[in-house]
Amino acid sequence: MKDIKDSILFTPYKMGPVTLRNRTIRSAAFESMGKDFSPTQALKDYHVSVARGGIGMTTLAYASVNRSGISFNSQLWLRDEIVPALRDITDAVHREGAAVGVQIGHCGNMTHWSTAGCFPVSASNGFNLYSPTFHRRLRRSELPEMARDFGRAVVTAHEAGFDSVEVHAGHGYLISQFLSPWTNRRRDEYGGSLENRMRFMNMCLEEVMEQAAKYKMAVLVKHNMEDGFRSGIQIPESIEIAKQIESFGVDGIVLSSGFVSRAPMAVMRGRIPTKTMGYYMPWSQWPQKIVVSLFGQWMIKQYDFEECFFLENAKKFRAALKGPLVYVGGLVSREGIERVLDEGFEMVQMARALIN
């Protein structure tokens, strides 16, 4: 293993307008530490502890750009009312010497009426077995306002003291639902060809980049290298999407994979604890509780865990792209991190290793 003085891991990195003290980022893995769509003391304590441990930047996840994008009570809804509580968190993290970002997005068809306050929306009409819920397609007239909500979320994040935002365009969330042919069956200018399926993403990124430039905030975008199943996005098409994201001048693309409502374990790998999940589900969700407990291991495709499990795919994107890339996926040792950085990735993200 390299000596510290020979490694770029512990060197500062200028991520657009933000300088990180090293190349590490706590990835935007959902903490489930909010309450009533707002931050809590537990959320603050956790991210302060990560910052105190020496991370370059920690990321709060997941913050919806509006009420209709909320799936759980424990998620954040990025709005003016919670700015003081978020500022309390960002100030505390900054005192520990780390930068702090927030992931912004919309859950799309993974929401519920009880949390979103409306009928769940997506790129197309359908039924999401994961939630489970019916959902309707967003009308063309609704899309510009939805995109503007992404821009407004950047302004709110700035007011709350965040250094960066990470736009969630992967994992089967709303932007990803427009990108993926599995969830986008539209026949208008937002569906069909890849150019059309990228149109909503482009609208969102235009709004985000405009506001980020105004307030000197860094922008990362989480992107799917592949959805994890045959009828979803595959690597060749995904590289074209990544090139489009890069053209906006973002400060980094986070290369991930998987689709929460179809291939959830492709996101993080490892055996899914279906019996434990079923045990802790409330009885108000009794149909899901029974199905997950009894049949979860056959319903959800399993993936074995190995260190750096996304690296071989990520290298294909490194070869095709010129801008900064953030590697995430199975980093559990210093050797693994050095291996990734030696392949030309500018930064690394981790979550489970930091929780451990």
Task: List active site positions.
Answer: 173
Query: What number of H helices and E strands is found in the chain?
Result: 14, 14
Cα gap 59→40, rounded to integer Å: 15
According to DSSP, residue 139 is labeled P
Beta-strand pair 24-26/18-20: unpaired
C-beta atoms surrounding 5 within 10 Å:
7
Q: What's the distance, Cα to Cα, between the start and end of the chain in Å? A: 22
* Helix 83-95 × helix 41-52 angle, to 10°: 20
Cα gap 294→216, rounded to integer Å: 50
Cα gap 171→186, rounded to integer Å: 20
According to DSSP, residue 345 is labeled -
Cα gap 27→41, rounded to integer Å: 20
Phi, psi of 233 (to 5 degrees): -70, 135
Q: How many residues does the chain have?
A: 356
Beta-strand pair 126-128/121-122: unpaired
Minimal CA–CA distance to 325: which of 315, 333, 334?
315
Cβ distance 207 to 150 under 8 Å? yes
